[in-house]
A and B are shown apart, each in its own frame.
Chain A
Amino acid sequence: MSVNKLSTEESYKSLDKIETDLLRPMTHHKGFELWILFLILIFIVGGYAYFIQLRDGLGVTAMRDYSSWGMYIGNFVFFVAASLIGMFISSVLGLLKIKWITPITRIAEMIALAFAMWAGIVIVIDMGRPDRLLNVFLHGRFQSPILWDVTVVSTYVAISLLLLLLPLIPDAAIIRRRLPNLPKWQMKIYDLLYLGWEARPEQYRIIKKAMRILAILIIPVALAIHTVTSWLFAATLRAGWDSAIFGPYFVSGAFVAGVAAVIIAMYFFRYNYKLSDYITDFHFNRMGQVLVLVSAIYIYFNLNEYFVPAYKMRTAEKLHLDEMFTGHWAILYWFTQIACLAIPSFLLIFKRMRRPFTMLWLSVLVLIGAWLKRFLIVVPVQQHPYLPIQNVPESFHHYIPTGIEITLTILPFAGVLLIITIIAKLFPVISVWEIAHEKGVDESIIK
């Protein structure tokens, strides 16, 4: 895309329009308080559920000695998966010099940061002794994949935060100029963040270089978080988890979940924040294509993961696969694989389907499937250990999540939405200066 430089006068006019459009949602946000109230309500209910779990022990969940990892771990894997999208959009597509991503990079990074931060909390919810969290640092053993996970997830959160904050510097300067009447505490944030931005060429050089370095750095870290998370399973000897392709299988699945999440967010911001001039049909079309691409890769890995063992039907694998294909989990399994993966990605091949509204619903399906898939990866395998499950109560044979578990699974989602809501309230969800750049506005006036 070649950028036509605008004249000074046109530049001012164009920048003014961009600023007005993109900053408006920060001051005009109908129902904002109600929405926050709703989220707080979920927090209160969730907090109470967690209190009960702390008081009575993990026995309030459906987890027992055999299915000892349940929804919480599935949720954790999902959160880590969804957080990969920041790296995918800003780094992979960004470094490939794909220009159309400009209006959606910040949305992707917000989602990434929120999910990554909450992933850490989700895993604490699953701990039997959260009061001993510090033991991980006091007595940490580096042989354990959990330590690797702690290391890479916190690194990822740090880099994602920087990747979100850096492009906010020029925007903070713009906000200071355009919205001087915001509350004092809010202005303080921009004062801190704008770092004396004056749109000097030197400053552009530094910020672009820093963003590029981060974009490169984040790739191996992002790959690591999900690969290591997959190793929590692949590093065991259990039939169904003991798989050599779990790393790429999880990573490719993560992109599917993340792209779907971004499409949903794009839809929401486009209509609620009235940004249809910026997040256009063209962007939806492109994201639809991306979803088809990542789904195709994921389907390929699914084929490897299920078809190859199913061809051989080794005793231990057979028990697990039978339950998945035709047994207890069959309905959920086929719903996930067909309705939530195969059908949406097939439909999106057609241009007619790549319209905002249809894509919204297909993405919702894909995202639900992505969550269910994590559940199906975590839970059923444990119900078929090598030695039979005997002499234990009936509840040890099954896993049906309890109300507390469901509440504490919803809670982190409310947390993610809260983080996104706050970021979207404090900052424009589309990078003002980068859009202005793209439109050919004279660089030196973007401050």
Chain B
Amino acid sequence: MEEAKNLSNSSQQEENNARRGFLKKLGLVVGAGAAMTAGAVYLGYDHEQKKNPDGKKVRVLTADGQLMEVSEAELIEAANQGTNEESELQRRGREGLPGKHWVMVIDLSKCRNARMCMAACQGAHHLRPEQHHINVLRMQDAENTEPYFMPKPCYHCDNPPCTKVCPVDATFKRQDGIVLIDNQRCIGCRFCIAACPYSARVFNWIEPLKSEEDKDIPYDVELNVPQRKGTISKCLFSADCLRKGELPYCTRACPNGVYYFGDLNEDTVTNGTTRETVRFSELIRKNGGYTVLEELGTKPQVYYLPPKNRLFPYQYEGKTTIDPEDSRVGGGRG
């Protein structure tokens, strides 16, 4: 509807100033016209129509799918913006899914270090074996307490210290709560690694695992593939899956029902193994759910259910105890 109106009545353009201001920020993708075939991308719509009254008009498709007519002189070519597809992935990736507030619940009583989550995650994000978006840690809270396994993704903190310090807005928090990376913008300063108290971030110190195969894939911020040398990566809550209405890779891969994932606004989370959907608040309340090191004020959005009533005793490489060197006593629960 709106599209048609814009097209049929180009004289109404003056009334669309508000939207143009918005478009100006997002950048314009040239849709119709010769520019499209050339695959060129234009950025920075400058509203100087009055200065160029007889400029040639072209139709453009804005990043949010609106068709508009603007004078050619107002389009400024932007360098290195990649393909149309890529800039659309960038736009929606930065915007996120409206109305959502994603949360994860990890039930420590069920984790037996199967590491299927880690494998699924590394496969999806083309990571090297030592790069963990999610890492199953061996934990012990105090000297005489029972050790347990603790999968640790990024906690997608509601007050994320990592995004605060980024000098170029290459890591950012979206409206649906997910903290993402834009590896096309990241300058590799690693300040965010220093700032994250949960060691959730990894760096591409060398050429990424699949950089050769991936080099022609358009970059998707929601998957952070292709990975790039000299830039950051970390858990993305599988933002690409969520867009498709699927649960995250790790959540689906777990054979033991450890992960619940869902929307805090709806107060529901779904178990990735059993596909059972439960009330988030009830799950937390009944099981004594908590977040890690919450005294730091980061407001993690990944909750843990304590490792009680376990189906199996802790065992790792044949041992039922933890070497204090391996897991420091007094970590985990803060």
Give me the interface of A with B, judged by CB distance under 8 Å: 56-59, 63-66, 68-69, 126-130, 132-133, 135-136, 138-141, 143-147, 150, 232-233, 235-238, 241, 315, 319, 382, 384-393, 396
Of the listed stretches B11-19, B165-173, B306-314, chain A binds: B165-173
- Given A57-B204, A146-B191, A315-B330; A391-B167 close (CB under 8 Å): no
A236 to B165 Cα, complex, angstroms = 9
Beta-carbon contact of B197 and A129 below 8 Å: no
Which residues does chain A contribute within 8 Å of B298, judged by CB atoms?
237
Beta-carbon contact of A390 and B330 below 8 Å: no
Beta-carbon contact of A388 and B139 below 8 Å: yes
Beta-carbon contact of B328 and A319 below 8 Å: yes
Known: A237-B195, A315-B329. 14 other contacts (CB 8 A): A69-B194, A128-B230, A129-B230, A129-B231, A132-B168, A136-B168, A141-B167, A144-B165, A232-B191, A237-B296, A315-B328, A389-B199, A390-B137, A392-B132
Closest to A126 in B: B189
Beta-carbon contact of B164 and A129 below 8 Å: no
Q: Mark B197-229, 1 if CB is under 8 A from A, else 0.
A: 111011111110000000000000000000001
Beta-carbon contact of A237 and B197 below 8 Å: yes
Closest to B184 in A: A132
Beta-carbon contact of B326 and A388 below 8 Å: yes
| Least distance between A198 CB and chain B CB atoms (Å) | 48
Of residues 253 through 293 on chain B, the ones whose CB sits less than 8 Å from some CB of chain A are 292-293
Partner pick for B132 among A138, A143, A237, A391, CB 8 A cutoff? A391
- Given A65-B199, A389-B199; A128-B168 close (CB under 8 Å): no
A127 to B203 Cα, complex, angstroms = 12
A435 to B169 Cα, complex, angstroms = 52
Interface residues on B, range: 35 or more
Closest to B201 in A: A65
Beta-carbon contact of B190 and A387 below 8 Å: no
* Residue with the highest number of chain A CB atoms closer than 10 Å, among B137, B185, B188, B329: B188
Beta-carbon contact of A386 and B331 below 8 Å: yes
B121 at the interface (CB under 8 A from A): no
Which residues does chain A contribute within 8 Å of B152, judged by CB atoms?
387
Closest 5 CB pairs of A and B: A128-B188, A128-B230, A59-B206, A59-B205, A146-B167
Give me the interface of B with A, judged by CB distance under 8 Å: 118, 130-132, 135-139, 152, 161, 164-170, 185-191, 193-195, 197-199, 201-207, 229-231, 292-293, 296, 298, 326-332, 334
A110 to B136 Cα, complex, angstroms = 53
Which residues does chain B contribute within 8 Å of A64, judged by CB atoms?
203, 205
| Least distance between A240 CB and chain B CB atoms (Å) | 12
A-B contact pairs, 9 of them (CB 8 A): A56-B207, A59-B206, A65-B199, A135-B170, A136-B167, A141-B169, A144-B191, A235-B165, A390-B326
- Given A390-B327, A392-B130; A68-B188 close (CB under 8 Å): no
A245 to B166 Cα, complex, angstroms = 23
Beta-carbon contact of B136 and A391 below 8 Å: yes
Closest to B295 in A: A237
Which residues does chain B contribute within 8 Å of A132, judged by CB atoms?
168, 185-188
| Least distance between B104 CB and chain A CB atoms (Å) | 16
Partner pick for A68 among B190, B292, B329, CB 8 A cutoff? B190
Beta-carbon contact of A68 and B168 below 8 Å: no
Beta-carbon contact of A128 and B137 below 8 Å: no
A126 to B168 Cα, complex, angstroms = 16
| Least distance between B80 CB and chain A CB atoms (Å) | 10
- Given A127-B189, A129-B188, A146-B189; A388-B130 close (CB under 8 Å): no
